[in-house]
Structure 1
């Protein structure tokens, strides 16, 4: 019996010893074996979701080797460290792209084109116009221009075979034609009722009428109004000026309120035209009175010069039809030259802005296209490297190339924004320059004869 017990104890000891030895063996296997290199864990490359739209691309992070940081050897090393086991073509592409994505710079180009002002912003200067008087003053745009035409009987006298009135009408017609665009014109006559007889003095001296109320110049309507004016009565210049002051107060405020008096003589109704002119000048209506004296004697010239002075304007004296012709010939030449300068200056200003903007757009678009080409080329070189190392087959190669081409097509949307801005700048600049040339030609033709 003891014998069996002893053998049983020996068996238990042997089993325990064997278990102990087995555990030690396992422990040794887990430890690092001296002199043997450990295998490194496969490198993980940063990845991203597939970008399907331009907005998606603009949200991407810039690649580690994008732009000036591109280094082919480092890219190839990163590709070599990439564990692609079990990856499909799209997953491989999405691991390559973060190395070389140029989205950081794409955002800059997108911000540039979104903020770019493609329209032509150059303002065309005011058009020339108006009569330039002795000290170089002239009518500016957006003016109210009132003509006071003497309808007294003395205007029926003839000079060079025609009535003074006819010469005055021609002068006013030519004068109005020289006014700047945007001006409003009115025609007031005075002394148009009764006759120059003493018996009609009271009637005639109380007569003044606004026959062409303030509005944009209409050549046909204005000419018809002028033709209906006849020289019949006395010369109530002061009353005409006083009524004109009322007209100005009732009308809209503009940059200039200009009054031109065409007369052949002095006040004959007992009024004080000098005082009336000064009152209009001081009324706060910004009114200025200019006077054209036609065949006026010394006394008349003195008074009419005083009227012009009190009204803050200038006096021009003409004694014959030839004087009228010289007056407006001088204006014709001046206006022709001013329109020539206006055309040249504004054409060049618009062309300069258009050229500067087009050059900037072409430069930025070219840089953007070069950037997309460089990204595409770098991505394809990466695919070529993987192919040459036999890490991807030809089908995978083809699929990745297709993804690269799809990205390039999406990027063309931003290129299209550049093209749209180029078209707008080009077309609008051409239209503005053509409009300036057309307007300049029209006005120069008008003043060339």
Structure 2
């Protein structure tokens, strides 16, 4: 009896073990089983290709172009056409055919618009925008030369309600000598001579800047903050103005920007409706106090008072001339460089009257300027035009290949070729129109300059011959 119970127990244990193993195997089987449905890989969405010039200019590069075409080769100028042609024929064409064959074997029923969209998606140029923007913003660069009328700014100003503010550089470099005399002394003499000839209706003010300290690093702060009114804005008084001139000497650093900013504050109440505000800066060097004189001059000129900033560079080196000229241009004024007292007085005082040699030698737009203008314009237009032509040829070549390989319908392929040609003509007409517009603008400016110079020459020839 005992033996039977033992066998029965053992049997039950074995059955339970088999059941457990069976459950475990079933669980593993369920976990390892694949999904009952397999998601298909989504096909790449082909965007609709541009059908307007504006859209084509913005279009991104085709995938094959972006991955396999050097932008410099694609846009190579006409004189370097062989660079593009060799790469296209020797390497790119085979990659193009392989890609297109693979795609259209799976899309044998594609219609013309779908085919064209795909070809632009693969073969379109993405370089139109940059070059087009350069062409649209192109400036011919012709500048009307200065044609003096024999009357300087102060002579004109005498007929108006005018304020003249003189900013005198009193930095240490003005201790230097010109023709055996101290620059500061020469400048002071010339300025006093200049102001003595102003009309009583013209108000003048004098500021000295950089006239404190000894030009050392220790007293830089003192010197850079030294921008003082030494003659208040009023009509010229010889003795008072002379005393003001003698109240300072050449000493420290050069706070040019600070001086211009001080002039802006000083003239703020004299708006352009009632006053003509002119700032004259006499300097022999660049800003040394960390300011931005170009920006300061610009802000002064565009302010409500519209003050002009004219600069007389006195015995200035090349670096100084470059900066001071920028400051004058930003301030809507003029820059003149002088090397001695005679030139200094000529700039400040004398009416500018050209010599006969200057009259005869004055030219309008020079031949080399015309050549450079034409070259600059075509340096932009030529690659832009080539990009358009090369995109059209790539798409037309691709369509012919697909037709010949029976990968697309014959009739649909012909429609693609015609569409590619139409889009190319649309681009080309727009690009050449813009190029012609820029060329016409250059020709118009050139004619205006040439006519003005000719009229000026005729006027002064007669006047100088009659002297």
Normalising by structure 1, we get a TM-score of 0.45
Q: Which structure has the larger Rg over C-alpha atoms?
A: 1
